[in-house]
Structure 1
Amino acid sequence: MLEVVILIVALIVSLIIVIKSADVFVDNIVEIGLALGISEIILGVTASAIGTSLPEFGSAMIAILTGTPDMGVGVAIGANIWNIGGILGISAIFAGLITTQGEELRRDGVMAFLTALVLVVSLFLIGNISFVLGIILIFMYVVYLWILIRAQKNNKNKEIECCDISEETSQEGKSQDSKKSLNTKTIIFAVLGLVGLAIGCRAIVYCTVELSTMANISEGLAGILLAFGTTTPEFFTVLSSAKKGLNSLAIGTVFGSNIFNILIGLGIPALFVNIPVEPITTYFDAPVMVLITLLLLLLIKRGMKLSRVEGVILVLAYVIYMFTRLFFIM
């Protein structure tokens, strides 16, 4: 009993370390990027998704590379299902209304669905996540990133056209003044954040493996349950954004995180090892991820919004999934 308590406490502490390390790493890597002259557009479209998804990515990566691939895959897929059914559903209930635009739905929503579909079809065909599939997943993310950058550049050009010359000059002056210089402290903190992520994720995986062994549950299911902890950044980001009326940020965080979790969270580890996948994940968890993504798109498309009713539907869908997973097909 004492060992279980120690492992649970260690797991909670590890989660806190990982979430804090992710914040430190992203904040400082953005500072480094700006100092090196990397476009703010590129930093903007990557930092948010990466920042909230680093706990899932790190946990999945460590789990896969340390011999527990089922847990790694479970974290990625479980996080995606929870992001939609749990986080977005609960946020819609509390906020009352989350709206979106057609462009966001066509671009980010469709990409999230396509990402899930590609993974499921590949698993049905080959039964694992191979090196070739890893290349395909990463290539898809690069293409998506390019689409995002083009969209933001186009929006920025439109804004510039609406401004007069004096305003443009003023903005350029402010931009030059706001450039940051690269300093040793920023680099050190970025490295410390990365080290904290690595250590924290390794501790998370170890504690989860030990607890799942004691509870006699599969690694895949353990990964799905672990997703509750690793998605904490997404939960607070989406809930806070929805309550403040920042609808695009709320829905965009979920879509962006789901895309990143699959394309990068599983694509990168596949470059190093062939990732076997449990049959239950292939035939149940992954298809559920596709279906709940499709459900979200259909609910939003009806009126380009999520009301409390749609939120309840998403939460119920997640409850049914978890009830089935826990009590019928563990």
Structure 2
Amino acid sequence: MSILWVAIGFALLVAGGEGVVRGAASLARKLSISPLIIGLTVVAFGTSSPELGVSILAGLQGKDELAIANVVGSNIFNVLVAIGVPAAITSIKTSMSLLSRELPILFTVTIVATALARIGNQLNRPEAAVLCLGLISFISYSYWAARAEPDQIVEEYDEGIGPETPTGRSLFMVAGGIVLLMLGARLVVLGASTIAAALGVSQTIIGLTVVATGTSLPELMTSTVAAIKGEGDIAIGNALGSNIFNLLGILGIAGLIHPLQVAPDLARFDLPWMVLTTLLLFPLVMTNKQISRLEGTVMILLYVGYALWLIVRAFA
């Protein structure tokens, strides 16, 4: 039953996130807010809303291990699987903007978030505030950088938002989406905690595997579809952007609401592994300015090896 609750919870999280994104984006349009701003804030936050809901609720319930492991596991999954799978299907070409902008920002953010989390093995409110300020800076920089791009890049944000809907319907979508997110997060946290107790493993392990995989499925689906369509930058940029929002937005907001304790194993093993997997992207994308099918397959195998190691660690 716990597995069923988790599965239903994931479905509600995805549906809720979709409702919040569409409703909020439509309302923002009615307020004459730039499609570029909507794309960089509402849509970007919406795709990370499953992780946000789970981490905030887990933190409020005192399940700090689950709250942080969800973010760390999601970031590792996004790099090795959400990029690895589409690359294994068809080689993904990259652009100079990705090499010079998004990837260095992600690596810097990963280093800073890891350092803050390892100081005293906790993420307190002042440290969380630093991450939130980083998020505001990232959004501001992204807006400035996107305005300097060709018109067709800016138009992509407008196309991705979707058509306007009546105000009443938009409000209903936002309210309904928030309710679904809350219900979904509650089911995932409850089910994951029960599974951890039944298996006799830590919530960290469940958060790094089951919960992280489930909340990252939207990124995997989006990146795979984009790669098949030949939109390599979108495929990689989706995963990188999600990781930046996870570290700055989710850890920042969750830590502001409730200071989070970092499990020793997470600080010792998984946070450094998250840094290493992010660093791995540099040589991959710089080789012929693409991630080949062979490299994508290796990335998937690395994740399989990491998952097996987590299983061994859980029952050791």
The reply to whether TM is greater than 0.5 is: yes
* CA apart distance, 1:77: 0.3
The answer to whether the 8 A contact 2:202-2:314 is kept is: no
Match of 2:81 in 1: 86
The answer to whether the 8 A contact 2:146-2:153 is kept is: no
Aligned partner of residue 149 in structure 2, secondary structure: helix
Match of 2:207 in 1: 223
Show CA shifts across 1:114-160 (max 9, x none).
11111222233332111111111111111111111011111257999
| Residue among 94, 98, 106 paired with 1:104 | 98
Aligned partner of residue 303 in structure 1, secondary structure: coil
Show CA shifts across 1:209-228 (max 9, x none).
01110011101111112111
Match of 1:306 in 2: 291
Larger radius of gyration: 1
Residues 157, 89 of structure 1: alpha-carbon distance in 2 compared, 3 angstrom cutoff: closer
1:73 maps to amino acid = I
Q: Distance in 1 between matches of 2:314 and 2:307?
A: 10
Residues 38, 315 of structure 1: alpha-carbon distance in 2 compared, 3 angstrom cutoff: same
Match of 1:167 in 2: none
* CA apart distance, 1:7: 1.7
* CA apart distance, 1:179: 9.2
2:233 maps to amino acid = S
2:123 maps to amino acid = I
Summarize the alignment of residues 53-202 of structure 1 with structure 2, pairs less than 5 Å apart.
53-95=48-90, 97-156=91-150, 180=164, 183-202=167-186
Match of 1:206 in 2: 190
Q: Distance in 1 between matches of 2:249 and 2:228?
A: 29
Structure 1 position 26 matched with structure 2 position 10: no
Q: Distance in 2 between matches of 1:233 and 1:212?
A: 24
Q: Distance in 2 between matches of 1:290 and 1:158?
A: 34
Q: Distance in 1 between matches of 2:188 and 2:153?
A: 45
Aligned partner of residue 92 in structure 2, secondary structure: strand
The answer to whether the 8 A contact 1:137-1:262 is kept is: yes
Aligned partner of residue 257 in structure 2, secondary structure: coil
The answer to whether the 8 A contact 2:55-2:66 is kept is: yes
Q: Give the RMSD, CA atoms, in angstroms.
A: 2.1
* CA apart distance, 1:202: 0.9
TM-score, scaled relative to structure 2: 0.92
Q: Distance in 2 between matches of 1:308 and 1:49?
A: 28
Q: Distance in 2 between matches of 1:159 and 1:323?
A: 41
* CA apart distance, 1:182: 5.7
* Comparing 311-320 and 12-21, the one that deviates more: 311-320
TM-score, scaled relative to structure 1: 0.89
Q: Distance in 1 between matches of 2:293 and 2:136?
A: 35
Q: Unmatched 5+ residue regions in structure 1? A: 1-5, 161-170, 172-177
Residues 151, 203 of structure 1: alpha-carbon distance in 2 compared, 3 angstrom cutoff: same
Match of 2:158 in 1: none
Q: Distance in 2 between matches of 1:319 and 1:10?
A: 25
Residues 299, 179 of structure 1: alpha-carbon distance in 2 compared, 3 angstrom cutoff: closer
- The percent identity for this pair of structures is 27
Match of 1:168 in 2: none
Structure 1 position 8 matched with structure 2 position 9: no
Show CA shifts across 1:24-79 (max 9, x none).
11011100000011111111123443232111111111111111010010110000
The answer to whether the 8 A contact 2:110-2:275 is kept is: yes
1:192 maps to amino acid = G
Match of 1:327 in 2: 312
The answer to whether the 8 A contact 1:48-1:253 is kept is: no
Residues 158, 82 of structure 1: alpha-carbon distance in 2 compared, 3 angstrom cutoff: closer
1:155 maps to amino acid = E
Q: Distance in 2 between matches of 1:280 and 1:313?
A: 25
* Comparing 16-25 and 48-57, the one that deviates more: 48-57
Structure 1 position 278 matched with structure 2 position 263: yes
2:300 maps to amino acid = V
Aligned partner of residue 58 in structure 2, secondary structure: helix
Residues 119, 179 of structure 1: alpha-carbon distance in 2 compared, 3 angstrom cutoff: closer
The answer to whether the 8 A contact 1:87-1:239 is kept is: yes
Aligned length: 309
Q: Distance in 2 between matches of 1:210 and 1:52?
A: 26
The answer to whether the 8 A contact 1:22-1:193 is kept is: yes
Q: Unmatched 5+ residue regions in structure 2? A: 156-161
* CA apart distance, 1:269: 1.3
